[in-house]
Structure 1
Amino acid sequence: MNLTVLKLKLGMLFTTLSILLLGFAVAFAVVAYLYGVSFAPLVISGILGFVAFFSIIQWLLGPYMINAMYKAVEVSPEDPRYGWLVGLVNEVAMYNKLSTPKVYIADVPFPNAFAYGSPLTGNRVAITLPLLKMLNKDEIMAVLGHELGHLRHKDVQLLMAVGLIPTLMFWLGYTFIFSGMFGGEGNGRNNAGTLWLVGIAMLAISYVFQFFVLFLNRMREAYADVNSALTVPGGAENLQRALAKITLSTDPRIIEKYKQRNSSKSLTNMLFFSPVDVPEDVSEASVDELIEHWKKEKVHWYDDFFSDHPASPKRIQLLEKLKDEKAIAK
């Protein structure tokens, strides 16, 4: 394991434990202050069980809703037009030591790829038609290496569990405010005014924890990039090219903007997403030029602060570092 991957893994572990421990500590301290130490576990476990129940239901049924929203249709190996895609997914799954997920094609007008699934549906991976037309097979395999990395690392389950913390904070705050509406109890700590103030504070804290979860999400996305680079032959370079092609299809003038030192650094933070109909042909020379701009760009910590994906230059630079370390190892 190289140093870059080790630092990323330790960072994810530290962030995950920090969110969980700090979240439960804050929740316990607040409830214990208002209602007593003996009552705190009952309140926290009750609300946590409530929000966990609905999160699990959403997780179990989510694939059906995703298929409906994306008009996703399953592809079989015998499909005369897209059967080759099942072969690519099977090859990438083999590199990742995973069973082959079901393969879907989504008939929507923007390039995207995503892995999803639940115990009810099994694992699935979907690719939209514009992405299939835009990328070559090597680039599609790199994209699949990223997406299957999410399945391999259990990212959906992890982020769902960690995401319960801000949800717990939110419902505690809502509960305190609702209790304050009915007057609380006299002049004690849980009187109406105190409950209102603490409730509002808990709502604010829940939003702060959402930013912690976003930070963890960005690290998991970076880890999925690492997975593609380390498991798929040529994954790092082809993933770089895939991101550049999608960005160029979204804004063909982005290179000109870089030259004018007036680019929008948060143009396309999500790896495979564009909200508009996009052209399928992108100049390879433009791809090379954009990647070179990203390699040299200085990225500030706040550039992707509100995003669940790292800024594109960060991703390119991480992949470039992995390429260099792999070359040195040889």
Structure 2
Amino acid sequence: MKTALLMALMTMLLMVIGDYFGGLQGMTMMLIFGVAMNFFTYWNSDKMVLAHYNAKQVDKRTAPELYGIVEDLAKKAQIPMPKVYIINSPVPNAFATGRNPEHAAVAVNTALADILDRDELAGVLAHELSHVKHRDILISTVAASMAGAISTIAQWGMFFGGGRDENGESRNPIATILVMILAPMAAGLIQMAVSRSREFMADKSGGEICGKPDALADALLKIEAFAKRRVMPGATEATAHMFIINPFSGANMKQLFSTHPPTAERVRLLREQAKAMGR
């Protein structure tokens, strides 16, 4: 239901953009495009995100420790074994993607294993597997693909269609610029609405799966420390909500529209969970 609602909202946003730049004809074209994009992203959004980050699939032979941790956690979470990917990046982070637990993948940056110990790495992976178990990954991945498309279309709108009204006259150029700015922002707000609460839920469930909420809390602090110093190469605003820590944590303006709750609050709740578990 969440995914259907998200797709409907994104399609409506596309139609508003189409109406502004091309009137009834533009709105109709965006409706057709939105329906086609919804169908395409449902089946291919995970592949698009993994391809964007040039993620390479690994197995028990090529990455035995990482694969073994995911395999063990997947059994504890009682979900099918997801595919495992590695992203060559100097900034640690991780995300999960896919349309359901049977077609899921987890991806980690190469730097993650360098800065985390085994328990902390297991905590991060347990968090991502929680997203898989609770089916957050479809809505998250679809949001990433569609938000990116809306941002691109809004930017193209001024050049294709010219921002003209029903009489063919040019619209106010200031209003056109505002549409180009506000459309991606609206897409971002939709992402925020579907991602903040799920991070708290995934932290709690991830702590239960790995059995060490404190280790996950420590991992979050380490990852954020790197993210504040350097933006992850290749990261985009459209996919930022998918990562365990916002890759734009060091960019003040982008933090204003962060899709993630404050790390300090997440850590506090994980510490409380650890105490409740007698850790």
Q: Same fold (TM over 0.5)?
A: yes
- Structure number with higher relative contact order (C-alpha < 8 Å, ≥ 6 residues apart): 2
Select which of 174, 187, 207 maps to 1:210.
187
2:197 paired residue number: 219
Give a deviation string over 1:84-135, Cα, whole Å, max 9, x none: 433321221122221112334555434333334579x953334444432433
Aligned residues: 257
SS of aligned partner of 1:192: coil
* CA separation of 1:196 and 1:90: change in aligned 2, threshold 3 A: same
2:140 paired residue number: 159
Select which of 125, 130, 149 maps to 2:106.
125
2:232 paired residue number: none
2:209 paired residue number: 231
Structure 1 residue 150 corresponds to structure 2 residue 131:
yes
**What is the CA distance between 1:46 and its match in structure 2?**
1.8
Select which of 74, 84, 93 maps to 1:93.
74
1:299 paired residue number: none
**Separation in 2 of the partners of 1:75 and 1:21?**
38
**Separation in 2 of the partners of 1:169 and 1:249?**
27
1:60 paired residue number: 47
Q: What TM-score, normalized to structure 1?
A: 0.57
**Separation in 1 of the partners of 2:115 and 2:147?**
39
* CA separation of 1:303 and 1:30: change in aligned 2, threshold 3 A: closer
**Separation in 2 of the partners of 1:274 and 1:160?**
16
* CA separation of 1:274 and 1:157: change in aligned 2, threshold 3 A: closer
SS of aligned partner of 1:138: helix
The 5 Å alignment of 1:280-299 reads: none
Structure 1 residue 310 corresponds to structure 2 residue 251:
no
CA RMSD of aligned residues (A): 4.7
**What is the CA distance between 1:167 and its match in structure 2?**
4.2
**Separation in 2 of the partners of 1:305 and 1:64?**
28
Contact 1:125 1:147 in 2 (8 A): yes
**Separation in 2 of the partners of 1:251 and 1:133?**
18
Asked which structure has the greater CA Rg, the reply is: 1
* CA separation of 1:19 and 1:212: change in aligned 2, threshold 3 A: farther
Contact 2:11 2:34 in 1 (8 A): no
**What is the CA distance between 1:209 and its match in structure 2?**
0.6
Contact 1:180 1:192 in 2 (8 A): no
**What is the CA distance between 1:212 and its match in structure 2?**
0.5
1:48 paired residue number: 34
Equivalent position amino acid for 1:48 in 2: G
Structure 1 regions of 5+ residues with no counterpart? Answer: 1-12, 253-269, 276-301
SS of aligned partner of 1:48: helix
The 5 Å alignment of 1:93-112 reads: 93-112=74-93
**What is the CA distance between 1:145 and its match in structure 2?**
0.8
**Separation in 1 of the partners of 2:211 and 2:46?**
32
Contact 2:123 2:207 in 1 (8 A): yes
1:284 paired residue number: none
Q: What TM-score, normalized to structure 2?
A: 0.66
Structure 2 regions of 5+ residues with no counterpart? Answer: 230-242
Equivalent position amino acid for 1:233 in 2: G
**What is the CA distance between 1:241 and its match in structure 2?**
1.4
**What is the CA distance between 1:150 and its match in structure 2?**
2.7
1:178 paired residue number: 160
1:83 paired residue number: 64
Give me the identity figure in percent. Answer: 22
* CA separation of 1:116 and 1:180: change in aligned 2, threshold 3 A: closer
